[in-house]
Structure 1
Amino acid sequence: MSATSTIQDKSLWNSNKVIQEYATADYLSKPEQTILQGLKPSLPGMRMLDLGIGGGRTTLHFAPHVKEYVGSDYAENMIDACLKRFPNPEPNTRFEVIDARKMSGVPDGYYDLVLFSFNGLDSVPTEDRHKVLEEVKRVGKPGGQFVFSSHNLRYIRKMYALKLHKQWRVFLYQFYRTFMLIYYNGLPSKYDQKDYAVLRNGAEHFSLDIYYGKPEFQVRQLQEAGFRNIRAFSLRSGEEIKADKLRQDTEDAWIYYQCEI
């Protein structure tokens, strides 16, 4: 992903169309629910940094429970949307424009919990991915928690699959989508031996380059960055995925990771 495409991405995230889509979301995915329940006893004493919050979907579920909450996004208009959605936040809650690659002004070792949900890390240029991990290590308190989701390259064959559907328009769209996946990315077998790839998966009409990684490679990347006690959670079930299952093809389009800073 080039610097130019990064600028284009930011203009997309600042667009009214995308902001309207994100501004009303209020759900937690199954793995988010699992992780929240596991953290709940510790949340009252935690300072939390919520990266890439979009329209404040996760704010609803975390801000009321933590000692201090900072919701952030690198798209200024997303933060404006959050301020409209939460016009009178509690004293422990604030919203800031922050680029996860360079969190200028954020003190070292300050946050007990850093969350980067909904695959926000995968929209960062691949060459900058390590910068985000380094910054999370810097601003996170030793022994704190880092939680994020990332697209799963082992899901790619499922992503290409055509499914019969009684509504012909739906099937026709699937056929179109599979054709476009092949057009932009080639056949899925191309990625069998790769640890990661940058794909166009259909998001925003195939205009975005999105990072996909194999789960075992993501774990290794985290270990090399100094994170410990790494756990993975299934998108479909919300349950923890055991280490010996990470190398298997899966129904999970993306996976949640929780690790110690």
Structure 2
Amino acid sequence: MIDNPNQKIYSAPNIVGYYAQLSQLQPAEQTIINLLQHQLSTMTMLDIGVGGGRTTKHFFPIVGQYIGIDYCPQMITACKKRFSAFSESISLEVGDARKLSQFNDNFFDFILFSFNGIDYISHGDRLKVFQEINRVGKSGGYFFFSTHNLQGIEKEFNWQKNLSFNPITTYVNLVMFALFRWFNPSLTSEKLTNSPYLIIRDESHNFRLQTYYIRPLEQIKQLQEYFSEIKIYSWKNGLDITDEIELLSQSDMWIYYLCMIR
């Protein structure tokens, strides 16, 4: 199963090299490590969209069994090279979150899909991912992922909010705004306001990626068929968001979701 436009970009040598040098966790990822610290040592973990191994560095030493997959063979090659000294204790393989047929039902205690990897497939395929994760994850296990927040892009769509007292900042912001409008000619304020989710070409990798953006309440609806006890965390500070009013006004560009598998 191949999403040609996005997968081709992720397979490019310069993009693979970029992800192979990343090493820092996001605040919400550190929050989850802290939250599950007493359970991780006994957990079998699936790290989806592992890329160049950013999350591998942090998770494989502390979980019971670690398996990392990516749908780009070039990423897996880079990741294996990065962790060649630990090849006997890390399992890294090419795999697609939309069809995890190489794994048995009820196999994983903890499944991670980080860096918004789920946002680079179609809407229908996104729902297949949730179904597959429900299948391979153990009941009572955890699924943790991040996704782009449609509410966050609304701020970027208003050119006046790109103005700054610093003329250089204003110039850069307005250039990016102009490029954003150029690459999304059909996107209107009305469409942005009324849509539960949209496919948008944002600035990621020079506007080459087609990225899925979704409103938090819509994301919760998608998850409820397969998951329970859905918790939401801020990208910027890693704190949980428990108030619906706060959630509706949340403008972080990314949001993290922690779900319990049914």
Given the two structures, how large is their TM-score scaled by the length of structure 1?
A: 0.93
Query: Which runs of structure 2 are paired with 1:54-93 in the superposition (5 Å)?
Result: 54-89=51-86, 91-93=88-90
Query: Which runs of structure 2 are paired with 1:1-261 in the superposition (5 Å)?
Result: 6-89=3-86, 91-160=88-157, 161-164=161-164, 166=166, 168=168, 170-183=169-182, 184=184, 185-224=186-225, 226-245=226-245, 247-261=247-261
- Residue type of the partner of 1:223? Q
CA gap 1:221/1:120 in 2 versus in 1, 3 angstroms = same
Secondary structure in structure 2 of the residue aligned to 1:105: coil
Could you tell me how far apart the structure 2 residues matched to 1:51 and 1:10 are? 15
Q: Which 10-residue stretch deviates more, 177-186 or 22-31?
A: 177-186
Q: Contact between 1:101 and 1:132, CA under 8 Å: does it hold in 2?
A: yes
Q: Contact between 1:19 and 1:55, CA under 8 Å: does it hold in 2?
A: yes
> Percent identity between the aligned chains?
37
Q: Contact between 2:6 and 2:210, CA under 8 Å: does it hold in 1?
A: no
Q: Contact between 1:236 and 1:251, CA under 8 Å: does it hold in 2?
A: no
- Residue type of the partner of 1:46? M
Could you tell me how far apart the structure 1 residues matched to 2:38 and 2:163 are? 43
Q: Figure out how many residues of one structure are paired with residues of the other and give that number.
A: 256
Secondary structure in structure 2 of the residue aligned to 1:241: coil
Secondary structure in structure 2 of the residue aligned to 1:88: helix
Q: Structure 1 unaligned runs (5+)?
A: none
Q: Which 10-residue stretch deviates more, 128-137 or 150-159?
A: 150-159
Could you tell me how far apart the structure 1 residues matched to 2:26 and 2:96 are? 24
- Cα offset for 1:14? 1.1
- Cα offset for 1:71? 1.0
Q: Which 10-residue stretch deviates more, 120-129 or 172-181?
A: 172-181
CA gap 1:141/1:62 in 2 versus in 1, 3 angstroms = same
Secondary structure in structure 1 of the residue aligned to 2:110: strand
Could you tell me how far apart the structure 1 residues matched to 2:97 and 2:248 are? 31
Q: CA RMSD in A?
A: 1.7
Q: Contact between 2:80 and 2:87, CA under 8 Å: does it hold in 1?
A: no
- Cα offset for 1:246? 5.4
- Cα offset for 1:52? 0.2
Given the two structures, how large is their TM-score scaled by the length of structure 2?
A: 0.92
Could you tell me how far apart the structure 2 residues matched to 1:98 and 1:52 are? 9
- Cα offset for 1:206? 1.4
